Structure 1
Amino acid sequence: MSTDFQQARAALGARLRELRFTAVGGRLTGTQLASRLGWPHSKVYKLEGGQQTATSEDLRAWADAVGQPEVFEELAARLATFEFHIRSWRRQLSAGHRPVQDSWNIEVDQSKVIRAWEEAVVPGMLQTADYARAVFLRYADLYGTKRDTEEAVRARIRRQEWLHQAGHQFHALVWEAALHALICSPSVLTSQLDRLAGMIGMDTVQLGIIPLSASLRIPPANGFWVLDERLVIAEDWHAEVWLEDSDNVSTYLRIWRTLRESAVFGADAQAAITRAQRSVRPR
């Protein structure tokens, strides 16, 4: 499903195509423009098709290459409208959880390396269907939104196919508290913990657990994901925040790496999961 973010990116792409068609000296083909810019021609078509977000430098180079440097300010203003994009939960979930999952799937499919930090829940890429169902139902109750739970669960589980594709890397950091949080039934949490344990050692997944006893350089805060060092999706109670500008992406990468310093991996991460498994008692 289309989102405001994707629509804005597509609109910018259409404007870039228009400038190529009306270049000073005559219309340029995508290949001709790419040659002027020293880019692969695929980059031109991805930018025009709204499949890739231009940087400010890309826009300036494009304006110069089509002989219209004066349009750079207009293009930069368009870019600024979606570099920082707040998507309120109430508006997003008005149509249910499935469209939100579809939007995530689009971005995940375009990514090769994903870094995630979750302080209260197991990351969606590693959830069982039952655990995901419980999470969706909790939020549907909180916001009083449409219950399309089964469609949302299928969409989230489908995203996990990404983990089984060569060349992908998922680096997840989870606070140990999330392993104990009974946002679902004890039996569902037990199965979820078994799944987490099984992910340790998978070649496309690196799972780090920050123990409750760990010394922290910064306070753990709300969860966020960094996709290919190009996009940050951060969650708060009122909204998701999508960030693409390089300064914010760099900040979140620095936060993620700082949190990672307190994490344990491999056998030590397995021990943290085992502690949680022992604490869960079916009721």
Structure 2
Amino acid sequence: MTEHAHLRLPGATRPVAVITGPTSGIGQGYATRLASLGYDLVLVARDEPRLEALATELENRFATRSQVLVADLARESDRERVAARLGEGVEFLVNNAGFANSGEFWTLPAAQLQAQLDVNVVAVVRFTRAALPSMITAAKGCVVNVGSVAGLIPGRGSTYSASKAYVVSFTEGLAGGLVGTGVRVQALCPGFVHTEFHERAGIEMSSLPKALWLSVDQVITSSLTDLEKGRVLSVPGMQYKALTTVAGMIPRTLAARLNRGLFAARGRT
């Protein structure tokens, strides 16, 4: 098939990856790994100085060209700008941006809960829809939607777990429709990862056993390995593979109690 006219950045010959939330954690890990694999990048986040610093670092290390796209994904107008860029063509999309809240559901402002839904769910669906046509035309492409073990085992908070369960179900359903197109999709479901995520959410994690922590590098390596193997659901770490397998074999009410006991869901939303 003919190559989509806008897949490359102007004047460049490398494939393009779009990553949301790349200024820290899994998003930054994915940006670095894809740059090392020969991708140019479109970096999407709110923090322009950190985006520019990352773009400069990746250019110096890997000769990667980066387009910085400053956007707040809780705003519809910003989501539409990102979707428009995706509509021009892209070969790899990482829907990584997302956040949790501390505090109980009934204490949080409705606007804050809506923003969480917009970032964790609405943006994922909108961006995936925008990216797929050019990928299908080219008969190649990858979409990684970052979910969470919280989307597989109920009980860790309410709206966050629900948003990640949506991401998992959406991705698994979409994978069936994409069979034979050359486009791969994945729901990446890490457990606890050493990032800024919990600190930003105001969630205390000091009591979590060390054995449950994963590194960003572990998560990215697992994701890419599973993509190559055609696995739609990627759960990094043997400890989390075991936990999610056990949770899938027992009644949901028991799984929820187990999860609350392990991960202390109180004060999370």
Same topology, TM > 0.5: no
**If you compute each CA radius of gyration, which structure gives the higher value, 1 or 2?**
1
TM-score, reference length from structure 1: 0.33
Greater helix share, structure number:
1
